Amino acid sequence: MATEETAQAQVNIHGWVGDGYEAVRIAFERNFAEHGERGAAFAATVDGEPVVDLWGGLADPASGSPWQEDTLQVIFSGTKGLVALCLLLLVDRDELELEAPVARYWPEFAAHGKGAVRVLELASHRARLPGIRTPLEEDEILDDRRMAALLADQPQETDPRAGDAYHALTFGWLCGELVRRVDGRSIGAFFDDEVARPLGLDVWIGLPPELEGRVATLEYAPSWWDGRRDEAEVANDPLMVCVLRNPPVFPPGPLPWNRPAWHRAEIPSAGGIASARSLARLYGCLARGGELDGVRLLREQTLADGTRELTRRVDPLIDEPHVFGVGFQLQNVAHRLGPPADAFGHGGAGGSMHCAWPSRRVGVSYAMNALRADMPVDPRSHALLQALHGALVD
């Protein structure tokens, strides 16, 4: 085992890599020197055992507070992978049927002709509800029950593009409410009870207030603005307005995602908070078919069914390729999930990546606080995943 605590471009890198994984440490250091990394963590497991656990840089660039071993990070759409797992747990227990209409469990959802929409369509971004039409202020999205009610009372979009549009925020409110209707618990409580606590994870959808001091501060990197749509183009397109700017959760000013109220709220598409170490452990469990350290989350067949391709398309609003199973992102032409063809998981806005490589029995997580908008892949996660894959023994 190689232990490291070195200075790279005036950045302290901490943690360790297993023997043979030194290239991963080098890639992690280079991200600070060459790709503007501010604070980050990267972790990986093989067959459930940790092989990489690295962290470094600044958790709060303004104050100079360093990234610590127990620092937590907002993972944005990485949260969708957590929600996907919750849905599959209910499927595994025969409490939820993927082919059933959503309205069987959530009667109000049938309003305005949506009675035929199936659970698997909701879970694969095909409900034609990619945005909320009711104008929203920023903090209104903290009320997940109200957001779900607005969507239940909203007709499906008739714009042809809506059928292929990523449900960036609405996925979480739709699927989170479905979990509540089936089980009775909120999505955050369900995940905590059924996944996080049994596996001993530092992962939350709705952060306990006493942990606020461990959360890293997010900031925009210069490349973030390079990836944004032209505001005039968005303003003249009603579908883009409701999907990409209602509400404007990535405004030019201070990031609302740094507010404690946003950390406490259950925002099930984007508000998850976790450590890379814990997410690598979770995806390591899924890479093993759903079992780790005597804890079985779900049957292997259920997980296999949940990671089967349901839709493959190019999002017409953000011009990105997507392949989805039941909530999970599957491998696509950009290989954002790393080299393995059977990879599944979910990345997050700004560059984070969390996934499983079942053929390698590997779980991976990369979390950071400098938000980039690189296309087609973020160079930081790409370098780390390539280095990790190259270190694996055939």
pLDDT, residue 376, reads 87
Kindly state the tokens that stand for 227: 């990836």
pLDDT, residue 312, reads 97
pLDDT in tens, 41-88: 999 999 999 999 999 999 999 999 999 999 999 999 999 999 999 999
pTM of structure: 0.96
Going by pLDDT thresholds of 50, 70 and 90, the confidence category of residue 8 is very low
Total domains in the chain come to 1
Residue with tokens 């998981």, as numbered in its chain: 345
pLDDT, residue 394, reads 59
Determine the 3-state secondary structure of 156 from DSSP.
coil
Distance CA 54, CA 50 (A): 11
Is 326 domain-assigned? no
pLDDT in tens, 233-258: 888 999 999 999 999 999 998 999 99
| Higher pLDDT, residue 9 or 70 | 70
CA atoms within 13 A on the CB side of 314: 6
Is there a contact between 91 and 297 (Cβ–Cβ < 8 Å)? Answer: no
Is 115 domain-assigned? no
Q: Give the H or E element holding residue 222.
A: helix 222-226
Q: Is the pLDDT of residue 24 over 90?
A: yes
Highest mean pLDDT among 70-74, 222-226, 316-320, 389-393: 70-74
Query: Residue 278: which CATH number?
Result: 3.40.710.10
State the average pLDDT for the chain: 95
Q: Is the pLDDT of residue 347 over 80?
A: yes
Q: Give the H or E element holding residue 148.
A: helix 144-152
Is 30 domain-assigned? yes
Helix, strand, coil tally for the chain in percent (to 5)? 40, 20, 40
Determine the 3-state secondary structure of 159 from DSSP.
coil
CA distances from 271 to 59, 81, 256, 308 (A): 18, 12, 11, 26
State the CB neighbour count (10 A cutoff) for residue 236.
Answer: 10
Is 143 domain-assigned? no
Residue 245 has phi, psi (to 5 degrees) of -135, 15
Exposed / middle / buried, residue 125 (Cβ in 10 Å: 0-12, 13-18, 19+): buried
Partners of residue 220 on adjacent β-strands: 371
CA angle 108, 324, 97 (to 5 degrees): 45
Is 161 domain-assigned? no
Is 265 domain-assigned? yes
Is 122 domain-assigned? no
pLDDT, residue 140, reads 96
pLDDT, residue 187, reads 98
Q: Is the pLDDT of residue 307 over 70?
A: yes
pLDDT, residue 232, reads 83
Q: Give the H or E element holding residue 57.
A: strand 49-60
Tell me which residue range forms the domain holding 337: 2-72+196-229+257-320+332-357+369-391
Q: Is the pLDDT of residue 123 over 70?
A: yes
Q: Give the H or E element holding residue 13.
A: strand 11-17
Is 299 domain-assigned? yes
pLDDT, residue 89, reads 98
pLDDT in tens, 160-205: 999 999 999 999 999 999 999 999 999 999 999 999 999 999 999 9
Going by pLDDT thresholds of 50, 70 and 90, the confidence category of residue 3 is very low
pLDDT in tens, 84-121: 999 999 999 999 999 999 999 999 999 999 999 999 99
Q: Is the pLDDT of residue 13 over 50?
A: yes
Going by pLDDT thresholds of 50, 70 and 90, the confidence category of residue 350 is very high
pLDDT, residue 10, reads 65
Closest CA relative to residue 276, chosen from 174, 221, 348 = 348
